[in-house]
Structure 1
């Protein structure tokens, strides 16, 4: 073997030798028989719902964007605009969370059970089931997590229906779990939900309840968007649509509760049973009910305020300062103008039969609203020829004659 000193004496630099040795060592690392590098698979458990986290992140992002943009809003409108925007974002986010969340019904149990089929190995695990409107999450966590040379930490999802239709997707998912070799507790829960015959139709009830409730919540979501748009144009109509949105959300909760199975869902294991009664509603159910009832109260409150003081309600909800001024001005001066017989521009009214050339010319001047800057327009005044005194007397005489009753009418009255 040629040493580094010999290489140096022969005139070849020692750095080439070190580069060759180091490259050979790194290339041979994790390789056998001069093949490619192979790494063992690392399966990590799912610790959260991706769709639910995405919806919450979207709501937080919208709130952050509004807070950053609030600096450009005038100080007088910043408070009411913040209330309206934050309230709308909160309601929309809560409806989307209820649509995508898996917390409509929940149950869990800690027990010792078989880990694999046809095996006597038993493990102590915490089994949980989380039912949503379109899917069911099954969790299996060991106590401790490392048992029997395996990491027991599973979070599997079962879709209730496919393609937006009411067709069941439970049986295909159950067969897929069998092919993958899932732990026995997860397979037992999937089989219990997939059975659809005789008296075991629990999965059918869960699927139909989620399907119809989901339709009603999407309708409530559309009405919520419509109410936000209407509040900027007509607050009274927006309040009515808000009341309808709250009623629809509460009705969705009622439909979900009515479509539950007649008896409780009981899944038996070795030491304990996983029981899901009809009253075991989760946080999504109560969140949707609270949101719907809150929208109903808010809509009724706005309608009452609109009946008492429509000008203040219009001033709070209408975003445009020009439209706000018009709403306030028209309401404040409507009664006064009607009683005085005046016109919206503040000029006196023209009673019938009293129109003179001077008044008639003044009334045809351009209307100027207060607090509005408009370009100067030349005034247009129409000059009417004034009648002579003789003509005026003749007209008055004609009016008096026409108003006096005739002799025939006097005889009939007598």
Structure 2
């Protein structure tokens, strides 16, 4: 490298940048494909049921896509600053650049973009990711970044999230990410169960699962907020400016979706008590099927559901008994007379 006149260390190559996280792109593509498929089937539904069916599908797919996408998002805490700073180690040359920091549940993403991009006869446009997922070694990824010779601003921010850093950001965000991700996976499971319940004549249980979906999302936000806000912030000095982080789009989108699920779940519980027939009509279910809870003596008096049609006549019906069942043995000798 010295033969080419470059200052040690020199980063010989950079990762190809994609305008969007590949995990998010795959998730969005899957849910959009599902939405398009349901839209194609829409003309086969008659009357106002078409509007109700479309509203249910769009809302359900939106909630599921948000839960799954935010679990892989890297924008739970974000920060950006424009400043003048040193570019390489062992060099006095400074550059003007924009530095971005995105903290997700599984790692951090650091961007460095020159202002302008072409400076010092180089293209300054870096997008580096450092992860702490289960099975991933953050210290090893940081050591590889040192060997590559990444620019100073990227290495400086990555070093703040190492385990040995006095800032303690590694344990703080790693713990918050693990607990938040776990609760979001539980929320996604509740969303799947809610959709199964909605396709069956047990709408009240679907409302309960939708309510649980929102509660687990809000619980995950509480874990992330407590783990990241109860400790003093670590100063991040970059040249002549300081980088400050705040809650990113993933945090606020999850909060909005969680509140939406809670409101919809409560609305379904109230509607099941006040207007059960309209609720069944909204879910395109027959209003003639009503669940009846009866005590089963064989199961110790537990309540067991039995479904009957409201079109059945409430009047008692005379059911003829078979000859075998109608003949009752009599032990009294007078019966023979």
- Correspondence for 2:183: 216
* In 2, Cα distance between equivalents of 1:76 and 1:196: 62
* In 2, Cα distance between equivalents of 1:349 and 1:138: 76
Deviations 1:237-260 (A, max 9, x none): 111111111111111101100111
- Correspondence for 1:244: 212
* Structure 1 contact 129–138 (Cα < 8 Å) conserved: yes
| 1:312 aligns to 2:278 (yes or no) | yes
- Correspondence for 1:271: 240
- Correspondence for 1:137: 109
- Correspondence for 2:255: 289
Deviations 1:69-121 (A, max 9, x none): 21223334312211111111010001012101111000011111111100111
* In 2, Cα distance between equivalents of 1:47 and 1:148: 25
Quote the offset at 1:43 in angstroms. 6.4
| 1:262 aligns to 2:231 (yes or no) | yes
Relative to structure 1, the CA distance from residue 43 to residue 92 in structure 2 (aligned partners, 3 Å threshold; closer, same or farther) is closer
Match for residue 101 of structure 1 among 66, 73, 94: 73
- Correspondence for 2:96: 124
* Structure 1 contact 109–128 (Cα < 8 Å) conserved: yes
* Structure index of larger Rg: 1
Secondary structure in 2 matching 1:194: coil
Relative to structure 1, the CA distance from residue 344 to residue 66 in structure 2 (aligned partners, 3 Å threshold; closer, same or farther) is closer
- Correspondence for 2:146: 178
Relative to structure 1, the CA distance from residue 283 to residue 150 in structure 2 (aligned partners, 3 Å threshold; closer, same or farther) is same
Deviations 1:6-29 (A, max 9, x none): xxxxxxxxxxxxxxxxxxxxxxxx
Match for residue 69 of structure 1 among 19, 41, 51: 41
Quote the offset at 1:195 in angstroms. 4.0
* Structure 2 contact 167–234 (Cα < 8 Å) conserved: no
* Structure 1 contact 101–284 (Cα < 8 Å) conserved: yes
Match for residue 227 of structure 1 among 177, 194, 198: 194
* In 2, Cα distance between equivalents of 1:162 and 1:180: 24
Between 1 and 2, higher relative CO (CA 8 Å, sep ≥ 6) is seen in 2
Deviations 1:321-374 (A, max 9, x none): xxx1532799xxxxxxxxxxxx96438436xxxxxxxxx5xx559xxxxxxxxx
Quote the offset at 1:196 in angstroms. 2.7
Match for residue 22 of structure 2 among 13, 32, 50: 50
| 1:112 aligns to 2:80 (yes or no) | no
* In 1, Cα distance between equivalents of 2:243 and 2:192: 40
* Structure 1 contact 265–275 (Cα < 8 Å) conserved: no
* In 2, Cα distance between equivalents of 1:42 and 1:203: 25
- Correspondence for 1:298: 264
* Structure 2 contact 237–243 (Cα < 8 Å) conserved: yes
Count, aligned residues = 295
* Structure 1 contact 138–155 (Cα < 8 Å) conserved: yes
User: Higher helix share goes to which structure?
Assistant: 1
Secondary structure in 2 matching 1:84: helix
User: Higher strand share goes to which structure?
Assistant: 2
* In 2, Cα distance between equivalents of 1:182 and 1:78: 56
* In 1, Cα distance between equivalents of 2:91 and 2:126: 19
Relative to structure 1, the CA distance from residue 43 to residue 244 in structure 2 (aligned partners, 3 Å threshold; closer, same or farther) is closer
TM normalised by structure 2 equals 0.81
